[in-house]
Amino acid sequence: MDNNRQIEQETRQPPPSLPPNAQLPINRCNLPAVILGSLTFQEHPVALEIDGIRDFHAGLFRTLDAMEQRDERAQRFIDYMTVRFLLEELEEAGLTPGRKRKSRINANYLRMVRGWSFDSDGREGAILKRWVESRFGLLARHHAGPLLDPSGDAYHRYISEGTRGLYATNALEAQLDLLFTYCQYELTREHGENTHLKLYRGINRMDEHEILETRPCGRNRVLLNNLNSFTSNRERADEFGDYILMAQVPTSKVFFYNKLLPGMLKGEDEYVVIGGAYEVCISSI
């Protein structure tokens, strides 16, 4: 009876909320960070939309609606991005002579995604985490080191890399906005009313994520970084750590995944997921 009462009491207690130091008061999304980063959102998700993007590119999505084949839609999206952002006409996009300037304007959405896949703690990773901060209001917790101390070296390196990486680029944040919106469009077409994906993440140490609460039966409530790599293949997750973190991830929190565009990511089952508070199961290999 005592154990049953304890479990019942734990069940009735409200889940821990997103810590104040993990969120911004404003974002560019249809929900504030305190809601979209909460455990309640994980259990009862709704669609996430970056302000104005779907309406601004309505013509693209009307065209995609008429296409039955995913590969055909993917190619149309790639072509649209190329034309809309002048990715093959850099002079028209504002390129001025000089190698440094060319490097900045060449920083496009595909390069960001591939850079993340190669090293999520590199420059592209910093840019993507900064983008998540501005669009969803979820602060990064880790980038080549903990970011909890605003006066620390790791934090200053992160801010410097992200800010310099975004400066004088070819509307890079707008490219990422549209990539996320297209990803959500494709997930809705593929999964319909299914709101969650069972995904896995390999970790080497239990302290890689901030534990908000320990629950019965190996469950934990954790605070994830604002952007994270997962996989749909448990055996693949085994290759990346001694512990396996399993989560029911809302499809509305998937930023992109490898099958979204041909050849976009190296890993066959990689999903890049927006963070916040999650209830997960952690098991050893």
Are both 208 and 85 inside the same structural domain? no
Are both 151 and 253 inside the same structural domain? no
Distance (Å, whole) CA 155 – CA 151:
7
Q: What is the pLDDT of residue 217?
A: 73
pLDDT, tens digit only, all 285 positions of the chain: 455 554 454 455 666 789 999 999 999 999 999 999 999 999 999 999 999 999 999 999 999 999 999 999 999 999 999 999 999 876 665 555 555 555 555 689 999 999 998 899 999 999 999 999 999 999 999 999 999 999 999 999 999 999 988 887 889 999 999 999 999 999 999 998 899 999 999 988 777 779 999 887 778 999 999 999 999 999 888 888 888 999 999 999 999 999 999 877 666 689 999 999 999 998 876
Are both 180 and 221 inside the same structural domain? no
Domain count, the chain: 2
Query: Is residue 225 included in any domain, yes or no?
Result: yes
Q: What is the pLDDT of residue 4?
A: 55
Pick the last residue of a domain from 146, 164, 191: 191
Are both 136 and 238 inside the same structural domain? no
Q: Is residue 148 within 8 Å of 141, Cβ to Cβ?
A: yes
Q: What is the pLDDT of residue 104?
A: 55
Q: What is the pLDDT of residue 240?
A: 81
Distance (Å, whole) CA 107 – CA 99:
13
Neighbours of 173 (CB within 10 A): 16
DSSP label at 227? E
Pick the last residue of a domain from 148, 172, 191: 191
Q: What is the pLDDT of residue 103?
A: 53
Are both 63 and 156 inside the same structural domain? yes
Q: Please measure the distance between the N-terminal and C-terminal CA atoms of the chain and give it in whole angstroms.
A: 33
Pick the last residue of a domain from 165, 191, 217: 191
Are both 81 and 205 inside the same structural domain? no
Q: What is the pLDDT of residue 7?
A: 47
How does strand 219-231 pair with strand 254-257? unpaired
Q: What is the pLDDT of residue 41?
A: 97
Question: Domain limits at 280?
Answer: 196-284
Are both 133 and 52 inside the same structural domain? yes
Nearest to 155 by CA among 147, 145, 144: 147
| Residue in this structure with the two tokens 């993440």, named with its chain if needed | 201
Distance (Å, whole) CA 168 – CA 259:
30
Query: Is residue 14 included in any domain, yes or no?
Result: no
How does strand 243-250 pair with strand 270-284? antiparallel
Are both 129 and 75 inside the same structural domain? yes
pTM of the model: 0.90
CA distances from 185 to 60, 70, 74 (A): 11, 11, 11
Are both 250 and 278 inside the same structural domain? yes
Q: What is the pLDDT of residue 54?
A: 96
Are both 71 and 105 inside the same structural domain? yes
Q: What is the pLDDT of residue 5?
A: 52
Q: What is the pLDDT of residue 220?
A: 92
